[in-house]
Structure 1
Amino acid sequence: MAPYMSFSVAVFIIVSCGLMDICSAGNFNQEFDITWGGSRAQILNNGEVLKLSLDRASGSGFQSKNEYLFGKIDMQLKLVPGNSAGTVTAYYFSSQGPTHDEIDFEFLGNLSGQPYTLHTNIFTQGKGSREQQFRLWFDPTINFHTYTILWNPRQILYTVDGTPIRVFKNLESSGIAFPKNQPMRIYSSLWDAEDWATRGGLIKTDWSQAPFVASYQNFVADACIWSSGTSSCASGVANKAWWGQDLDSTSEERIRWVQKNYMIYNYCTDAKRFPQGFPPECSVA
């Protein structure tokens, strides 16, 4: 059964870029740097497509030229097809340092014909362990699909093809840290994690299938660019629909529906992992 969307959710998710100084749309040559893997990472079609590959010698990765502090950022991915067991395609936002903040999408490979696992996590002040995992309700290797992070002072919202799947709310009033002061770059990598990625490491990488390839297109950042200690959202941010966005009751219902039908792991229900009690946001939220 595929997730459903009402018109109100579509309006919430689809936000057009407004002010030019805080919106950038998709040329990989202009927006990203290849950071490792050499020729295994390629920017093609005059910057419209980026491909990462993994072979037995190395994976590959890239990062954004810009740092961002809040925004709505879309990326379309087409994941490694066939037997991708042991591989991880990571797409995430991160600041730097031991007290870094981070917002993660990680796609864990699978044996051919089995569903991908979408692994999500959030770090605040260097502390993570907030994993939620989902089975995707489609084959993410046939076509491109849109993975979105909406990050504002109120919440972090994950969506897949416009369907909200997870929210992490700002609960600072309850003493829970929230990412709001450290600008983040966007990173992505394709790498070998056969020791844990597929069925906890039981299924190893089949290198006869290499090279493994993941593709990217249609990057859109309707976001606040951070430069020299100043945000481009210093003025005009009131015009950005995502800035003060909270979830309405319909969107919260969609998240509950997705989590009921497609969530396979939630740290807030893993009593063996937290014998002294769950993290505070589990009960407050």
Structure 2
Amino acid sequence: MASSSSSTFITLALFLSLCVSSAKSTAKFDELFQPYWAPDHFTFDGEAVNMKLDNFSGAGFSSKSKYMFGRVNIQIKLVKGDSAGTVTAFYMSSEGSKHHEFDFEFLGNTTGEPYLVQTNVYVNGVGNREQRLNLWFDPAADFHSYSILWNQRQVVFMVDETPIRVHTNLEHKGIPFPNDQAMGVYSSIWNADDWATQGGLVKTDWTHAPFVATYKAFEIDGCECPVTTADSDNAKRCASTGGWWDQPVLSELNVHQNHQLIWVRANHMIYDYCSDTARFPSVPEECEHHRH
């Protein structure tokens, strides 16, 4: 059994390395993205992009194309020092009132306090699926990778390739899953001191502005969807292409990844909507199936 397990793990490792290497790992920002908010708040330093927040404006960028299934990854170095009140977000989203969305939101804090990472999943316009955790490193000291893997079976949020959240397709249980709308990839930085730090108790100190987040290593490897094509047609095409993201080996976490996720939840999670009985007297249905 040991040799069989070892062989399986090696096969998986090789497969994942092929998946990652097939991505546009050296793509420059302007090949994949464009500023959509406050272009004068961007500066470019070689392959790195700096996006700033000051008391005049935040800033944001978006992908030039939309995608259905695949993987997106960006390396980010978050705002240094006192970042209280600020939010830096990296997310995927479709459009409209019934949109789907996968969020990373980095909640700033006072100097010396840990950054919090909030993830959320919107399905058909409904969110309220927040989880918060503290990281096992200082995300403002250096670049770290933040990734979203999306296929027909699951959505996986990863930090430096460690899974921190899995949202599983439970359509067979009558629970909607985001698999029918093309999504853009976005990032933004803005002032959210009404809620971001200690529930809004700590406000943004503008004497520390500008607040700067830095990005590099832009990767998108997914089923690209023409804007002129209907979502229903894109969904059929992207579900039937046999893309790498739909290989059986990626239909669920492997044993090592499951252990990593259990470790993250046990040691770093500080809030899970599934456990918030004040907000949800009846446990949300998907929570019963997502417990690890």
CA contact (8 A) 2:93 2:101 kept: yes
1:220-231 matches, within 5 Å, as 220-227=219-226, 228-229=228-229, 231=234
Q: Report what 2:113 is aligned to.
A: 114
List per-residue Cα deviations over 1:154-198 (Å, max 9, x = no partner).
Answer: 000011001111100000011111110100001110100001000
> Residues 208, 256 of structure 1: CA spacing in aligned structure 2 closer, same or farther, 3 A cutoff?
same
Q: Report what 1:55 is aligned to.
A: 54
> Residues 164, 179 of structure 1: CA spacing in aligned structure 2 closer, same or farther, 3 A cutoff?
same
TM-score (norm 2): 0.88
Q: 1-side partners of 2:265 and 2:63: how far apart? A: 30
Q: Which has the higher helix share?
A: 2
CA contact (8 A) 1:85 1:110 kept: yes
Q: Report what 1:11 is aligned to.
A: 13
Q: Report what 1:268 is aligned to.
A: 274
Q: Which runs of 5+ in 1 are unaligned?
A: 1-5
> Residues 41, 280 of structure 1: CA spacing in aligned structure 2 closer, same or farther, 3 A cutoff?
same
Q: 2-side partners of 1:279 and 1:185: how far apart? A: 27
1:233 CA displacement: 4.7
Q: 1-side partners of 2:224 and 2:20: how far apart? A: 14
Q: Report what 1:255 is aligned to.
A: 261
1:44 CA displacement: 3.5
1:126-165 matches, within 5 Å, as 126-165=125-164
Q: Which runs of 5+ in 2 are unaligned?
A: 1-5
Q: Report what 1:190 is aligned to.
A: 189
What letter is aligned with 1:28?
Answer: F
Q: Report what 1:125 is aligned to.
A: 124
CA contact (8 A) 2:69 2:245 kept: no
> Residues 250, 96 of structure 1: CA spacing in aligned structure 2 closer, same or farther, 3 A cutoff?
same
1:147 CA displacement: 0.4
Q: Report what 1:281 is aligned to.
A: 286
1:18 CA displacement: 8.4
Q: Report what 1:39 is aligned to.
A: 40
> Residues 270, 19 of structure 1: CA spacing in aligned structure 2 closer, same or farther, 3 A cutoff?
closer
List per-residue Cα deviations over 1:186-215 (Å, max 9, x = no partner).
Answer: 111010000100000011101000000000
CA contact (8 A) 2:33 2:62 kept: yes
3-state DSSP class of the match of 1:75? strand
3-state DSSP class of the match of 1:259? helix
CA contact (8 A) 1:72 1:242 kept: no
What letter is aligned with 1:255?
Answer: L
CA contact (8 A) 1:28 1:43 kept: no
Q: 1-side partners of 2:64 and 2:189: how far apart? A: 19
1:278 CA displacement: 1.4
List per-residue Cα deviations over 1:116-148 (Å, max 9, x = no partner).
Answer: 000000000001100000101100011100001
1:41 CA displacement: 1.8
Q: Report what 2:92 is aligned to.
A: 93
Q: 2-side partners of 1:109 and 1:12: how far apart? A: 37
Of 240-249 and 147-156, more deviation after overlay is shown by 240-249
Superposition CA RMSD, Å: 2.3
CA contact (8 A) 1:71 1:243 kept: no
1:250 CA displacement: 2.8
Identity %: 46
CA contact (8 A) 2:80 2:140 kept: yes
TM-score (norm 1): 0.90
1:236 CA displacement: 5.3
* Aligned positions, number: 274
